[in-house]
Structure 1
Amino acid sequence: MKQMMIGKRLVPAIGMGTWGLGESISSHAAEKRSLQEGLHLGARVIDTAEMYGDGLAEQLVGEVIQESKREDIYLISKFYPWHAGAQQLEASLHASLKRLKTDYLDLYLLHWRGNIPLTETIEILEACKKAGKIKQWGVSNFDIRDMKELYQLPQGDKCVTNQVLYNLGSRGIEFDLLPWMKEQQIPLIAYAPVAHGDTLGANLEKKKILRQIAGEHNGTVYQILLAWSIHNGTTLAIPKASQLEHMQDNMGALNLSLTENDLKELDRLYPAPKRKLPLAVL
């Protein structure tokens, strides 16, 4: 099973995303079973946010983690940029912890950059660490200029990760952001690692080759896309799975290793960027 480091914590390289979960009563039971199955199959990371369903995703996760040992789970949540000030951030954290039914978060992320000075946000995040309410903090949707600015600020280098959109069809961060993060030894958290469904294989030639590679590994196209997203050893992928079968598919990618020929063929189909591109977001 492929693993990677987030701060001082070793975790499986594929976790569970929750964007869009918890918002429908009719699908609640299936989504809960899917997350439970992920934990059963070895997933340890659950990623959520106060934004997801206005807290409904956090409530769903709170139900799920009650049935496991809290120390076995690496729990991530995110806060709005307009909640990044001292008083607002503490209130947001308190509300998230209440919905999640836990005393602490393993990782707390600024969801995207806003107008509140980063120095103020860093100061309160460090205070939350000292109070034991969070173990570590990081950012999300930060491009290279934002990351460099952050790391020049007092205690800015305490940021342990940056969560951005990254998949085989969205490789823009490989031009400058990802190399800089590797140089600073900052792991990446990749959201939407298989894009939207099978859209990466919409082209007939690409679909044929993706299926061929999947067949050679006795896997699925989704597993190939996930295996690619974590093949560098410094990326944590957090695909969403609302159905049991999809979760089982996702977790199976942890044991799939792409060959050098596979990687060359995928590079040919989905070339790395040759120039700076705007940071892709969903």
Structure 2
Amino acid sequence: MIEHLQDTVTLNNGVKMPGFGLGVYKVDEEVAVDSVKAALENGYRSIDTASFYNNEKGVGKGIRESGVPREEIFITSKVWNDEQGYEETLEAFERSLEKLGLDYLDLYLIHWPVKGKYQDTWKAMEKLYNEGKVRAIGVSNFHVHHLQDLMSNSKVKPVVDQVEYHPHLSQEKLRAFCEEADIKLEAWSPLKKGRLFDEPVISELADKYGKTSAQIILRWDVQNNVITIPKSTHAHRIKENADIFDFTLTDEEVTRISSLNKDDRTGKNPDSFDE
């Protein structure tokens, strides 16, 4: 479990990744510049984007304008569904790199498990990894069976599976599988777009610790050893989201929050998404 904002977790290839970062899902290009700068100014060192978000240029600009050295920042991007396939992925990676204005990525993910394509996509990502163009490769929105299928035909194991994860979707089976396989689980939409804030358990704990509901949920992520990347476009909220390292939930409280699970998604099910 990380104990400070800039603490890292060690991925299965030895690369160290911050356990907490900023997500910029579909943030406007210009807004992304300021969001990234605000995050980096407040101590964040991990930024998560994707080609689908259409803001890689803004993310890159924010990184450059922040003044924080490139080597201190962990940058993730993802290959989108219509970019998948072997050659297509190699081309998509170069486009992302160019938009970001970078020489390499720290982490590159398959955004969704597009049937019939993600195996070839992974082979391209292995090539990028072996050539040193990306420090680590992983997946997003993969169920256990997708991971099993991928690993049965691959040479490099994914380091991360980034999935929708929050108290209404605690993904215990997937989390247990990833822990056993030494794959880090990473949470997107950890706050369920604010739809968890009125849960009585969350509100009660927020009052007890003098924290916001968001901070209670993000602390639950951290104590479950799940990498988390909350999205915000407001500097004060970006700072507030990371202010979760001065208190600790009890084991019973973590369990109470986990018991809120409803297997309820805000996004698509990876077995039935629109490819």
Fold-level match, TM-score > 0.5?
yes
Residues 272, 216 of structure 1: CA spacing in aligned structure 2 closer, same or farther, 3 A cutoff?
same
TM-score by length of 2: 0.86
- Percent of aligned positions that are identical: 28
Tell whether the 8 Å contact from 2:15 to 2:135 is kept in structure 1 after alignment: no
Structure 1 CA distance, aligned partners of 2:123 and 2:18? Answer: 30
Within 5 Å, give how 1:58-97 maps onto structure 2.
58-66=56-64, 67-97=67-97
Name the counterpart of 1:131: 131
1:231 alignment partner, one of 206, 223, 229: 223
Structure 1 CA distance, aligned partners of 2:70 and 2:227? Answer: 20
Structure 2 CA distance, aligned partners of 1:260 and 1:113? Answer: 34
Name the counterpart of 1:9: 15
2:182 alignment partner, one of 175, 181, 185: 185
1:40 and 2:41 equivalent? yes
Equivalent residue letter for 2:59: V
Within 5 Å, give how 1:116-265 maps onto structure 2.
116-155=116-155, 157-171=156-170, 173-174=171-172, 176-197=173-194, 199-202=195-198, 206-207=199-200, 209-233=201-225, 235-265=226-256
Structure 1 CA distance, aligned partners of 2:111 and 2:158? Answer: 13
Alignment gaps of 5+ in structure 2: 264-268
1:116 to partner: Cα distance: 4.0
Equivalent residue letter for 1:88: E
Tell whether the 8 Å contact from 1:81 to 1:115 is kept in structure 2 after alignment: no
1:261 to partner: Cα distance: 3.4
Structure scoring higher RCO (CA < 8 A, sep ≥ 6) equals: 1
Aligned residues: 260
SS in 1 for 2:17: strand
Residues 75, 254 of structure 1: CA spacing in aligned structure 2 closer, same or farther, 3 A cutoff?
farther
SS in 1 for 2:187: strand
Tell whether the 8 Å contact from 1:110 to 1:140 is kept in structure 2 after alignment: yes
TM-score by length of 1: 0.84
Post-superposition CA distance 1:220-273 (Å, at most 9, x none): 11100111112122x1101101001110111112444211232243245x1477
SS in 2 for 1:257: coil
Alignment gaps of 5+ in structure 1: none
Structure 2 CA distance, aligned partners of 1:221 and 1:21? Answer: 23
Q: Which runs of 4+ in 1 moved over 6 A?
A: none
Over aligned residues, Cα RMSD in angstroms? 2.2
Post-superposition CA distance 1:119-165 (Å, at most 9, x none): 4223221211232221111111111111111111131x421111110
Equivalent residue letter for 1:4: V
Structure 2 CA distance, aligned partners of 1:194 and 1:188? Answer: 16
